[in-house]
Chains A and B, each alone.
Chain A
């Protein structure tokens, strides 16, 4: 990955970011659950998951959500400058995620604007699983640091 920083002025509306392909491994899900301290039984216990009709195993929907942000962070031609500020987030959780899923997130710049001397960017993303099924749709609004 290039060390060049992707600065605001060089990013055009409509720009599509390289879509990362990320494996939602058992380890990644466990690491995430530990980090957010989520003890929901449907992620830990097969009986609870089946009783809730979510299937087993199942992963938190927000694990794909993080990848929608990582899709912007991981770019071959440059990286997001440090210090970005996340101001607003929208998500639609379309279908359950499962350990073992391979997720591809496509993201594009939907809007750019300057307000009160700050550079704002709106990035829309769609995450699909290995079967091409949409699992998460996102829209992130934040301040680009440079």
Chain B
């Protein structure tokens, strides 16, 4: 694994290594099996066709897993024990989309002996549209 990032060398605006995934209905179904979330909006095309979305969409937590992978690779322990995440799901992710999770260092804080890095995080689709957006932090 590439070395995790160092608090001292990080600066505002630094970009984390992005994580890119291609979404298929099969992968959505696989996530449903792994997570136990069989909401038909994700896995039943006939049900989903009759909803506002007009078709199946991926679980929100699937995109969130991509952000978590990005943060794990950047910060390892600082993410697994001390990580925080707040995101809004802005737009549906559909079979056929390619999703890229991105992060930018927003702020470094040092309080009470604890060092924290706060990042703007988001997922965008192949059209550059943000589908998930928020903030994530790790303790270094």
* B30 x A62 contact (CB < 8 A): no
Q: How far is the CA of A89 from the CA of B87 in the complex (A)?
A: 5
Q: How far is the CA of A61 from the CA of B59 in the complex (A)?
A: 17
Secondary structure dominating the interface of A: mixed
Query: What bracket does the count of chain B residues touching chain A fall in?
Result: 35 or more
* B1 x A52 contact (CB < 8 A): yes
Secondary structure dominating the interface of B: helix
Q: Which residues of B contact A89 (CB under 8 A)?
A: 60-61, 64, 85-87, 89
* A90 x B85 contact (CB < 8 A): yes
Q: Which residues of A contact B88 (CB under 8 A)?
A: 87-88
Q: What is the size, in residues, of chain A's interface with B at 8 Å between Cβ atoms? A: 44
Interface residues in B61-95 (C-beta closer than 8 Å to A): 61-62, 64-66, 68-69, 72-73, 76-77, 79-89
* A36 x B66 contact (CB < 8 A): yes
7 further A-B contacts with Cβ under 8 Å, apart from A32-B34, A34-B30, A62-B61, are A40-B72, A54-B77, A61-B80, A70-B35, A83-B40, A86-B60, A93-B82
- Which residues does B use to contact A, with CB under 8 Å? 1, 4, 21, 27, 30-31, 33-37, 39-41, 47, 51, 59-62, 64-66, 68-69, 72-73, 76-77, 79-89
